[in-house]
Amino acid sequence: MSSTSTRHFLTLLDLSTEELEQIIQRAIELKEMQHGGTIHEPLKNRVLGMIFEKSSTRTRVSFEAGMAQFGGSAIFLSPRDTQLGRGEPIEDSARVLSSMVDAVMIRTFEHEKVERFAEYSSVPVINALTDDYHPCQLLADVQAYVEHRGSIRGKTVAWIGDGNNMCHSYINAARQFGFRLNIAAPEGYEPKREIADAGGPAITLVSDPVEAVSSADLVVTDVWASMGQEEESDTRNEIFREYQVNEMLMAHANSDALFMHCLPAHRGEEVSSGVIDGPHSVVWDEAENRLHAQKALLEFLIR
Ligand code: CP
Ligand code: NVA
């Protein structure tokens, strides 16, 4: 069972604002060290278990490379070739895996699964994306904002599109890092009511994307159909048509506004190539920061 001293990272609310800010600063330092060729192996002989029930490029490579750079290692586990996929209870898997590794990272569907795993795990559990949240991505996004523009506190962020896992994590980030968040989502695709309400007055829901991006310092979007919603793609493409982040929409944001997207992106759908490949976009730094931000998180949770 999880002891009260085992820290998990299932949502951004599991750490304090000070701890999150410390992780962002550490991520910036670790990035400089990595770029400068400094060898830093604080997790020698430590092992990260990585459970992936959904596809991934960035998350898998960043966690695996991060553990290798830290002197440790990572084990990739998919439902196809573990007993988890054959119905072994989460509670049993959590007890066994956590008796062998130093931390477990999970990407899955229901958020409740990572909560249950954490409850029975004796080592830190990291949410690497659920249907409801993607907190690791927010560490990378905030790091990218800080690197390009300084503190995000007091700034205005516009979320355009689906009220999905990334949107929910932006709501939590607004609470923790102290920025305003304007969300423009089509009717019926808004973020979950209880998550948005918990964000308090910093969160504004509108239906008009132009209103959402007005005086925004950062504009963010994500795919219209997330993993697990593939068969809704055609319907969603129709419904979300007015929510594309393109040059016309970006023109309503602040002139020095940044554009972010967690990737993978669909050019011509949620974002135009002119924006994602244009001057406002910092998506490549954002993606690279997954490595540095998660190394800072692993160092914080495991040591
Ligand atoms: N942004 C992100 O989590 O990417 P992957 O799905 O490639 O891991
Ligand atoms: N909302 C997307 C994010 C992918 C990183 C999904 O869940 O598929």
- Cα separation, 95 vs 3, in Å, equals 12
Ligand 1 center to residue 3 CA distance, Å?
A: 30
Cβ(233) – ligand 2 distance below 6 Å: no
285, pLDDT greater than 90: yes
- Cα separation, 259 vs 165, in Å, equals 18
Ligand 1 center to residue 242 CA distance, Å?
A: 25
- Strands 73-77, 156-160: pairing kind: unpaired
Contact 168, 132 (CB under 8 A): yes
> Which residues line the pocket of ligand 1, CB cutoff 6 A?
56-59, 129, 137, 262-263
Contact 192, 230 (CB under 8 A): no
Q: What is the mean pLDDT of residues 259-283?
A: 98
Using alpha carbons only, give the angle 86, 88, 90 rounded to the nearest 5 degrees.
Answer: 125
Looking at the annotation, which residues are catalytic? 107, 134, 137, 222, 262, 290
Cβ(165) – ligand 2 distance below 6 Å: yes
Task: For each of the domains in the chain, give its residue range(s) and CATH number, in order of start.
Answer: 12-133+287-302 (3.40.50.1370), 137-283 (3.40.50.1370)
To the nearest whole number, what is the mean pLDDT of the chain?
Answer: 97
Global pTM? 0.98
Q: What is the mean pLDDT of residues 293-299?
A: 99
What SS3 state is found at 180?
A: strand
**What local confidence, expressed as pLDDT, does residue 5 receive?**
85
Q: 101-139 pLDDT, tens per residue?
A: 999 999 999 999 999 999 999 999 999 999 999 999 999
Q: How far is residue 88 from each of residues 1, 34, 96, measured CA to CA in Å?
A: 17, 39, 11
Ligand 2: residue of 223, 233, 290 to mutate (most ligand atoms within 8 A of CB) is 223
Tokens 């709501």 label which residue?
Answer: 171
Ligand 1 center to residue 60 CA distance, Å?
A: 8
Nearest ligand, measured from the Cα of 163:
2
- Strands 125-127, 103-107: pairing kind: parallel
Indicate the pLDDT class of residue 3, thresholds 50, 70 and 90. confident
